[in-house]
Amino acid sequence: MVNAVVDKLDSLLEEASSKISQTADIKSLEDLQHEILGKKGKLTQVLRGLSELSEEERPHVGKKANEIKAAVQKLLDERLLSLKQSALSERLEKEWLDLTLPGEPVPTGRLHPLTRVLREVKSIFSGLGFEFVQGPEVESDYYNFEALNIPPDHPARDMWDSLYLGEKTLLRTHTSPVQIRVMEKRKPPLRVISGGKCFRRDAVDSTHCFQFHQVEGFMVDQGVSMAHLKGTLSAFAKAIFGPERKVKLVPSYFPFTEPSVEVYIDCFNCGKNSSEDQQPSSPNSSSVESGLVLSESCRICGGTKWLEILGAGMIHPFVLRVVNIPSEYTGFAFGLGIERIAMLKFRIDDIRLFYESDQKFLEQF
Ligand code: FA5
């Protein structure tokens, strides 16, 4: 009887050893452990048979059974360790990281093209000795119109479709009110630029927005003439559009300048051979207003070979009188649209692109 039980225990160990070594994963090892050492396991079954042994035989077989149990447990533990190790190596192999790969680039912000152009314009005029001042975006009718020689019933008010906030308060339609604000506080000599948002009740299209940016500049001193205006704007055009640019002044009308001019540069796209006899379109025509007429001859100037970049003139004596500037002083003033300059500089044919916050567009700058 004793020998039969001992044989059973030996063959149980042999069978367990063979099965344990063949287990392929931790789950099947756990099942096997249950099968051999569990409450209804094979070893437990064998141990149940001990009750049939005599008092003297029991300790001997019991000792043997404990040895077999310990041996099986040892085999199970070793196999578990080895399975865990190979599972870990397999995972490490699968999740292998190439530490030499370059890192993910961190997206960086950049300046909006209009901010860039505004800063460039400021910096050019600062190099010419102009100081920068800010003016309010909410203006009074007086500064926006009346002091600029545009009384309430003046037909020139049609040129500026305005957004009124109250009877005499509006969102400024241009930056020219800054001229008045500066000159009523300070005396010449003055060389000042100002810039920022302007607002008009204009229908939105490829060259117009209800909100846009202007830069205003003016110089007041004794003996200031149109020659100074042309020289200053010529230096500006060369700095922003290239040293070979030519400037041309074409008569125009603004109530606060006399004489008034529209300033053109020769088209940098097709105007290398531009000649003076090629007339730009009338200042009031839509082609000049938009500045970007698309035609087969040139998509930038539409074949006119000249591009309007700003309005300017000699400050009207009425304006100088309003701010009590003595009559021995004269001055010039100019006003340009930042969007217009940016569109020409970056060859953009739709102003709305500046305001759509389209990453693909903005990332190009
Ligand atoms: C003026 O606003 C004058 N104050 C400029 C000036 C200043 C003349 C000093 C003489 C002396 P104008 O209305 O043409 O002028 O506007 C100037 C520029 O602002 C235009 O050439 C254009 O580039 C820009 N602009 C005007 N309206 C819009 C609009 N709705 N959307 C985008 N840009 C505009």
Q: How confident is the model at residue 293 (pLDDT cuts 50, 70, 90)?
A: very low
- Residue 211 region by backbone torsions, left for phi larger than 0, else alpha for psi between -120 and 50, else beta: beta
Give the separation between CA 164 and CA 166, rounded to whole angstroms. 6
Task: Report CA(324)–ligand 1 centroid distance (Å).
Answer: 26
Asked whether residue 223 is domain-assigned, the answer is yes
Torsion of CA 76, 26, 82, 24, to 10 degrees: 100
- Whether residue 294 is predicted with pLDDT greater than 60 in this model: the reply is no
Asked whether residue 324 is domain-assigned, the answer is yes
Average the pLDDT over 251-271 and give the result. 90
Same domain, 80 and 130: no
Residues with CB under 6 A from ligand 1: 159, 174, 176, 200, 202, 208-209, 212, 214, 216, 254, 257, 310-313, 333-335, 337, 339-340, 351
Note whether 148 and 136 are within 8 A (CB).
Answer: no
Q: How confident is the model at residue 272 (pLDDT cuts 50, 70, 90)?
A: low
Same domain, 210 and 356: yes
**CATH number, residue 264:** 3.30.930.10
Q: Report how many domains make up the chain.
A: 2
The pLDDT assigned to 250 comes to 96
For residue 327, CA distances in Å to 106, 216, 322 come to 60, 23, 12
Asked whether residue 351 is domain-assigned, the answer is yes
Q: How many CA atoms lie within 13 A of 127 on its CB side?
A: 11
Note whether 162 and 141 are within 8 A (CB).
Answer: no
Same domain, 131 and 239: yes
Output the residue whose Cα is nearest ligand 1's atom 22. 337
DSSP 262: E
The pLDDT assigned to 347 comes to 85
Q: What is the CA radius of gyration of the chain?
A: 45
Q: What is the pTM of this model?
A: 0.70
Asked whether residue 106 is domain-assigned, the answer is no
Other C-beta atoms lying within 10 Å of the C-beta of residue 102: 5
Range of 182's domain?
A: 113-362
Q: How confident is the model at residue 8 (pLDDT cuts 50, 70, 90)?
A: confident
The pLDDT assigned to 279 comes to 38
Q: Determine the residue of 310, 315, 334 to mutate for testing ligand 1's pocket, defined as the one with the most ligand atoms within 8 A of the Cβ atom.
A: 310
- Whether residue 45 is predicted with pLDDT greater than 50 in this model: the reply is yes
Same domain, 142 and 49: no
Residue type, 139: E
Same domain, 213 and 241: yes
Q: Counting atoms of ligand 1 from 1, which one is nearest the CA of 338? A: 23
Q: How many CA atoms lie within 13 A of 216 on its CB side?
A: 23
Which of 64, 94, 124 is a domain's end point? Answer: 94
For residue 329, CA distances in Å to 147, 193, 227, 256, 314 come to 18, 18, 15, 16, 11
pLDDT of 151-180, one tens digit each?
998 887 777 788 999 999 999 999 999 999
pLDDT of 118-131, one tens digit each?
999 999 999 999 99
Give the separation between CA 186 and CA 280, rounded to whole angstroms. 38
Which of 67, 94, 121 is a domain's end point? Answer: 94
Same domain, 88 and 138: no
Give the separation between CA 151 and CA 241, rounded to whole angstroms. 37
Give the separation between CA 6 and CA 278, rounded to whole angstroms. 119
pLDDT of 199-244, one tens digit each?
999 899 888 899 999 999 999 999 999 999 999 999 999 999 989 8
Same domain, 86 and 119: no
DSSP codes joined into one string, 69-124: HHHHHHHHHHHHHHHHHHHHHHHHHHT---TTSPPPPPP-----HHHHHHHHHHHH
Query: For the packed helices 113-127 and 226-241, what is the interaxial angle rounded to 10 degrees?
Result: 130
Q: How confident is the model at residue 182 (pLDDT cuts 50, 70, 90)?
A: very high
Highest averaged pLDDT of the listed ranges 98-102, 220-224, 268-272: 220-224
Same domain, 240 and 340: yes
Give the separation between CA 187 and CA 60, rounded to whole angstroms. 121
CA max distance for the chain: 138
The pLDDT assigned to 17 comes to 93
Asked whether residue 41 is domain-assigned, the answer is yes
Same domain, 73 and 133: no
Which of 94, 122, 156 is a domain's end point? Answer: 94
Torsion of CA 294, 297, 300, 306, to 10 degrees: -120
Output the residue whose Cα is nearest ligand 1's atom 23. 337
Same domain, 127 and 88: no
The encoded tokens of residue 282 equal 């009338």
Output the residue whose Cα is nearest ligand 1's atom 24. 337
